[in-house]
Structure formats: C-alpha cells, structure tokens
Amino acid sequence: GAGVSQSPSNKVTEKGKDVELRCDPISGHTALYWYRQRLGQGLEFLIYFQGNSAPDKSGLPSDRFSAERTGESVSTLTIQRTQQEDSAVYLCASTLPLVRGYGEQFFGPGTRLTVL
C-alpha cells in the first residue's frame, strides 16, 4: 500500500479483556516497530521485527504484551487482560533496510486504545 495502515483506529475495551491490534507495513519494508504513546508523552518503544530474525522484545512492559509478524508482512500486537494503564495510542512504523537509506521510520495512524 501507499503507507503504513493500522486497525482498528479506535478500540474501547473493558478492563481484563484481551485486544489485538493490527499493522500493515509498507510493501518492501523489512523492519517493523511498535511504539506506545501515552497522552502528552513521547513514544515508548515496545518491540521490533527485522526480516526473519528473532524480534527485539526489550521494550515490552509486561508478559501481557506480545506481538507476531509473518515474514515481512502484517504484524499483530496482543495485549492480554488489559489494564487501565494500557490506555494509549499504539503506533506502528516500518523502514527500508539500512543499506537502502538511513532508516527513517514511516508511521501508521495509530490505534487509540481506551481501557475502561
């Protein structure tokens, strides 16, 4: 597609429910990142996928968070047993390989998650 797309754009859920967020990166972008942005805060790195390598999960805040990516396509971020503190905008970004540029990240529009 022309840009990174994410779905849903908004998600309201009850505390304790599981949610699944989806990201479609730009075609040909081998790297994919998930970030979280709480209201009035900067972007917080969550997880990074590069091709078929093992993902960098160092930013995941707890074991309730997990993510998958199939090859170089769609990624899903799953949050289990959601808590109110999980309310934030979840942003996905993708990049070309560094050998083809300096790796600027192209962001999707985000999913605004509200946990009641």
Partner 1 sequence: GQNIDQPTEMTATEGAIVQINCTYQTSGFNGLFWYQQHAGEAPTFLSYNVLDGLEEKGRFSSFLSRSKGYSYLLLKELQMKDSASYLCAVRDWQAGTALIFGKGTTLSVSS
Query: Which residues would be at the binding site for partner 1 (CB under 8 A)?
Result: 4, 31, 33, 35, 40-45, 48, 50, 56, 58-59, 91, 95, 98, 102-110
Nearer to partner 1, 71 or 101 (CB): 101
Q: Measured from the CB of residue 75, what is the shortest distance to partner 1 in angstroms?
A: 14
Q: Measured from the CB of residue 61, what is the shortest distance to partner 1 in angstroms?
A: 14
Q: Measured from the CB of residue 81, what is the shortest distance to partner 1 in angstroms?
A: 25
Contacts for 66 with CB less than 8 Å, ≥ 6 apart: 60, 77, 78, 80
Give the C-alpha distances (Å, rounded to integers) separating 78 from 40, 64, 65, 98, 99.
Answer: 23, 8, 6, 28, 31
* Residue spans of alpha helices (H) in 1-116: none
Contact 90, 34 (CB under 8 A): yes
Nearer to partner 1, 27 or 41 (CB): 41
> What gap in Å lies between CA 109 and CA 91, rounded to an integer?
7
Q: Measured from the CB of residue 96, what is the shortest distance to partner 1 in angstroms?
A: 12
Nearer to partner 1, 17 or 27 (CB): 27
